[in-house]
Structure 1
Amino acid sequence: MRIVLGVGGGIAAYKVASLLRLFTEAGHNVTVIPTEAATRFVGVATWEALSGNPVSNSVFDDVHQVNHVRLGHEADLVVVAPATADLIARAAAGLADDLLTNTLLMARGPVLFAPAMHTEMWHNAATRANVETLRGRGIAVLDPASGRLTGTDSGPGRLPEPQDIFDAAIALTQGQSDYQLPLAGRTVTISAGGTREPLDPVRFLGNRSSGKQGVALAVAARNAGATVRLLAAHMDVPAPAGVEVVTVETALQLREAALAAAADSDVVIMAAAVADFRPAEISDTKIKKRDDTADPIITLIRNPDILQELVEVRGMSRRSQLIVGFAAETGDGHGDVLAYAEAKLKRKGCDLLVVNHVGTDKVFGQDTNSIVILARSGSDPQLASGTKSEVSAAIISRIGLELNHVSPRA
């Protein structure tokens, strides 16, 4: 694959050398186009040595090859990293004052921006408008990672990790014949992990959820062009770069966060394993095990049904929103997994229900999954299996079809 790698003039340019290495080691032919400012951070010699191709940022070099037209026409993919506030603004305005912006105007294939800038710049109304302009044109713009910035400041604005940019870039080129991202311009809220209900300052009621499926969904939604908000309960894996993270612990905290996040979300995916019950009382001190006292009796009370409440709130607001539930089920003498799942779909009223058959060494904590997607519309059940990343891609693809009112393939 022929890739143009545009490098903006930010301190994070040094990280892009690792991204370039990932592309070349995967067998891709990469032409690097740094801005003039970028060469103050990383020199041309570095880009030429790592790419094996000549490097220029001027439309007047090798004029006979008409590079300002040719490079964009021939590229199968254009990636811009770091995409500074200035570079995003120039691209949104359609300026063509150097080789990189000319190439962006001429690009026929998919384009991915990986922003990096100070937090205030990222949150500035002008930058947000420019990002939405690019996304509205079908250009993929990742959200920056959060963490330590230049100097002592921390916050959203860090360049996503090179591997995350690489994954998003490759995903952008797979199965996208018209290069349109299915969730471009959409806001998606995803819950992940397992809630914990405290018994005392030491103990809690929890479950076996690792958060792997929810995190994989966040990555798939991000790669599909969405602005992603991850409501993270207890997880054994880190949250991905390029998504907003809201940390919760209990079912009640998740309920509050989900209702708030749903207010501006086009899609809500409740993938977290939420405790059905919580202790009626929480001890302020550790519950002691004493020989002279009886065994404690723990009374449980129901937690609110967050998924059902989200559906009810949507109905009252009459807003257009897709709500996806997850059902971790086991069969018993009264019915099999799908029978219980179909009853749950009818009871909850969500649009899609992703059904897992759970059990010992199944789903929880594993890297693979097998699911069935049920639809409130009554369309045929859709099966998907494989790694949790592959399953997530199938779920996000189905969500894209639902949003665009396209019937899934049998």
Structure 2
Amino acid sequence: MLHLAQSAIERIAQQVNRVGQYVPQELNIRNVLLFCVLSLLCLGSVMVVSASMPYAEYMYDQPMYYATRHLVYMVAGLVAAIVAYNIRLERWFENTVILWLGTALLLLLVLLIGNDVNGSKRWLSFPGFTVQPSEIAKFAMAVFTADYVVRRADEVRQNYKGFLRLGGPILSMVILIMAEPDLGATAVIVCTMIGIFFLAGAPLVYFAIVAGMVLAGIGFLIAVEPYRLQRLMSFSNPWEDPLGTGYQLSQSLMAFGRGEWFGTGLGHSIQKLSYLPEAHTDFMLAVLAEELGFVGICTVFGLSFLMLFCCMRIGHRALKNMHLRAGYLAYAIAIIFFLQICVNAGMNMGLLPTKGLTLPFISYGGTSLLVCAFMIGVMFKIERDTRDMYQEPKQSV
């Protein structure tokens, strides 16, 4: 099994290198990543203005309310990225326990004093802004897992103890996040952990066991909460109850249908006029599809997956140069972005049930945008610090 896992990792690395051969050598991967992120931010800002104006005018009598806040979050995100870039990578891996405990404390505070919105407690309110700790938990557990698979490399590759030892921290996070409840963030954290274990060479049989446990857990969560079963069933046929459980998805599909090839034109969306609830958040992609059409969707996906390729390329080079923790962290960040892109696109297109996951750098969302910018700052730091082969520090005689 170990040989199978290692061969799979080698195949992934070969595919990344093969794609990289078509990229001009003089083209700096850092510049490509920066171009993708800035392009997505610019496109997302334009769409936030377009999608949020009718709702903001109705709710606050200020058409630019969400646009202004989004601009503030973008500036804060730039500051967060700069701060992340100036933090030594070793400091993250030296304080994984503190990072885990601090995140768990924030999640506990959410349950105690958090805001209750639509039956969920996911936000902590501060003067002028809110914080969603489950977004922070994604990065915190990525750092924790990346450090863990290096410290416990033998256990991860040879026996089941590697999974069991990490079970405590992961389970504590999952319980706290599911108590909010936030199934989307839980799925991202668990899948990220599984992906890093796979890259670290864990035996494939353990993935089957974990997959069985995850499926059993999802089945239990669906059974104890009837609304989750309704969501699961409504996405398969939203037209059965288009004014009830299938309302959001049916309106989203109408937006995609109206967009056709080139869209109805920027600002000409009909669904954002209170037909699609809070269209500037989770269903931003539907408004984008309606106004910019298939060409706009391809542009967003092209930039997003080029960004993912850059992150994977940086992670691969870090592992190749023996910067193992940094390499696994880069892959973990790429997995987080990949899952959010796929889940958000899937729920907008009716391929997946509705989940509260934003589209990175496109959707409106304060904490999500800040955390995404922070992770990009960490990615740039990894790119800078892992260009050369790792060398053991010299021992003084």
What range describes the TM-score normalised by the shorter chain of this pair? under 0.3
Q: Normalization by structure 2: what TM-score?
A: 0.24
Whose Rg is larger? 1
Structure with higher RCO (Cα < 8 A, 6+ apart): 2
Q: Normalization by structure 1: what TM-score?
A: 0.23
